[in-house]
A and B are shown apart, each in its own frame.
Chain A
Amino acid sequence: MKKTIITVVGKDTVGIIAKVCTYLAENKINILDISQTIVQDYFNMMMIVDMNEATKPFGEICDDLTEAGEKIGVLIKCQREDIFDKMHRI
């Protein structure tokens, strides 16, 4: 199973998680893990998701999430887990 990491960074506001989760649910993306903190009013979230059943191609999901993030003033990135795994695990 290829996992994907979604990161959300930006100024905290109401409904960030709701917005992202709704999008993921609509596109059949399963959330495996969420961690979230707020540092000095800045919202930091990381999700590990499984996109195997996703209804759209990877590139399109990335673009949609980035666009959704821009609307609520946060930066959303969507990356394959491999890049982090390779860099931080031997």
Chain B
Amino acid sequence: MINMYEVAETNKMIEQENLDVRTITLGISLLDCIDSDINKLNQNIYEKISRIANNLVQTGKDIEKEFGIPIVNKRISVTPIALVGGSACKSIEDFASIAKTLDKVAKEVGVNFLGGYSALVSKGMTKADELLIRSIPLALSQTERVCSSVNLGSTKTGINMDAVKLMGEIVIQTAEYTKDNDSLGCAKLVVFCNAPDDNPFMAGSFHGVTEADAIINVGVSGPGVVKTALEKVRGENFEVLCETIKKTAFKITRVGQLVAQEASQRMGIPFGIIDLSLAPTPAIGDSVADILCEIGLEMAGAPGTTAALALLNDQVKKGGVMASSYVGGLSGAFIPVSEDQGMIDAVIAGALTLEKLEAMTCVCSVGLDMIAIPGDTKATTISGIIADEMAIGMINQKTTAVRIIPVIGKGVGETVEFGGLLGYAPIMPVNRFSCDAFINRGGRIPAPIHSFKN
């Protein structure tokens, strides 16, 4: 039988160490909503999401209450809209009208983000894909809760450099369209290499075409719990360190598994995966950078950071896989800048640069995340940063991503405030040398040799 010590340990994690379930994300396929008439399509989408997601928020709240564990976000992901809108949308305004429908239904069912305003163009772009991509600035400036993502490459297909070039321009344009809000639109836009179909975390969540009609995916969190556990093993060797991370990750993930099963059962929707990520928030004590410091670094970004992050990421996975029947999504440690107080401090102190962050993305769960850069950065430079990140993902067979915010009207030394979970960020300098000729070549980078495993 459960004893007092165990109950106290769990409740301490929740009350003092910010243990929470970061998100219950309901994936909904919109493939059966497709129609050649844009009005009919919008209506179908509205009706399907309203019907399926109707009790998502209430179910989340009920579980929260019964188990005493906060479930921070309830969210929805949908089939990439480029596929859904292909037949009906003839202009960027048509696509943007779908974004408005998604925004409206998101507000009505009470979710804080809805992901899937997406296109998958890792090898080539259809006309619909390109139209959707070109509509992103308009869509994100006219909506509040819609998130957009574009998959630009994969280990199997190589990198679509035409799309990389286009996305550099789209990121700048999105920043321009939302400049009155510190270019907030770019915080809701992410590009991927090897994007997973079942990621529950925003902004990159979408409901892949390989998925069932509806599915529940859950993202767990808990950097504060890992940090506290590591405080007790200061000075111990790596074996002890790794064991401690593994055990803690196991406990965190078990809670996620419980919540996922309960939500799935109560909503009558199958359980998909647990994403066992360490996802920081700007709250004090909820930081991945603080874990790196606890492992033994003065600041995130100091020499040794990549090694520390690599072991952290790996041990989180090792501990987590045994705790859940299905693990998927991004799973690992996120290293966003604006959403992590320790990372913000490291940037301000000069310990952490864009180049070091890039190195860290080789071993973290995703990529360059929530990084504010000067608003006058050239589109080709952003494409160059994206291309570098895509190459890391392609060669290392991992998911990588870029969510970068050129803040219009602001420069290095200034700060930008996004609010809420998105946090705030100091604007980081970008290498000023040009990569125009590289980006303007056009075409695609072939898949690497180790992708030919057939």
State the A residues within 8 Å of B (CB).
5, 7, 33, 35, 37, 44, 46, 48, 58-59, 62, 77-89
- Interface stretch among B62-70, B82-90, B94-102, B185-193? B62-70
Which of B3, B62, B258 is the one whose CB lies under 8 Å from A82?
Answer: B258
Determine if A44 and B10 form an interchain contact, defined as CB atoms under 8 angstroms apart. Answer: no
Q: Does B236 contact A (CB under 8 A)?
A: no
Indicate whether A88 sits within 8 Å of B6 (C-beta atoms), given known contacts A80-B66, A83-B255.
yes
| Nearest opposing residue in chain B for A84, CB measure | B2
Q: Which 4 A-B pairs give the minimum distances between C-beta atoms? A: A79-B68, A83-B67, A86-B254, A88-B6
Determine if A77 and B67 form an interchain contact, defined as CB atoms under 8 angstroms apart. Answer: no
Interface size on B, residues (CB 8 A): 21
Complex: A7 Cα to B68 Cα, angstroms:
11
Complex: A79 Cα to B2 Cα, angstroms:
13
Mark each residue of chain B from 121 to 155: 1 if its CB lies under 8 Å from any CB of chain A, else 0: 00000000000000000000000000000000000
Which of A37, A48, A59, A78 is the one whose CB lies under 8 Å from B1?
Answer: A48
Beyond known contacts A46-B7, A80-B66, A81-B2: 11 more, CB 8 A cutoff: A5-B2, A5-B7, A7-B11, A77-B68, A82-B67, A83-B67, A83-B68, A86-B254, A87-B6, A88-B6, A88-B251
| Nearest opposing residue in chain B for A5, CB measure | B7
Q: Which of A37, A77, A88 has the most CB of B within 10 A?
A: A88
Indicate whether A35 sits within 8 Å of B3 (C-beta atoms), given known contacts A7-B11, A83-B10, A84-B10.
yes
Q: Which of B2, B67, B254 has the most CB of A within 10 A?
A: B2
Q: Does B8 contact A (CB under 8 A)?
A: yes
Which of A35, A83, A88 is the one whose CB lies under 8 Å from B69?
Answer: A83
Which of B62, B65, B66, B254 is the one whose CB lies under 8 Å from A87?
Answer: B254
Q: Which of A7, A83, A84 has the most CB of B within 10 A?
A: A83
* Residues from 238 to 252 in B contacting A, C-beta threshold 8 Å: 251
Complex: A48 Cα to B6 Cα, angstroms:
13
* Residues from 243 to 280 in B contacting A, C-beta threshold 8 Å: 251, 254-255, 257-258
Determine if B62 and A44 form an interchain contact, defined as CB atoms under 8 angstroms apart. Answer: no
A–B Cβ pairs within 8 angstroms, 27 of them: A5-B2, A5-B7, A35-B4, A46-B4, A46-B7, A48-B1, A58-B65, A59-B62, A59-B65, A77-B11, A78-B68, A80-B66, A80-B67, A82-B67, A82-B258, A83-B67, A83-B68, A83-B69, A83-B255, A83-B258, A85-B2, A86-B257, A86-B258, A87-B6, A87-B251, A87-B255, A88-B10
* Shortest beta-carbon distance from A57 to chain B in Å: 10
Mark each residue of chain B from 52 to 94: 1 if its CB lies under 8 Å from any CB of chain A, else 0: 0000000000100111110000000000000000000000000
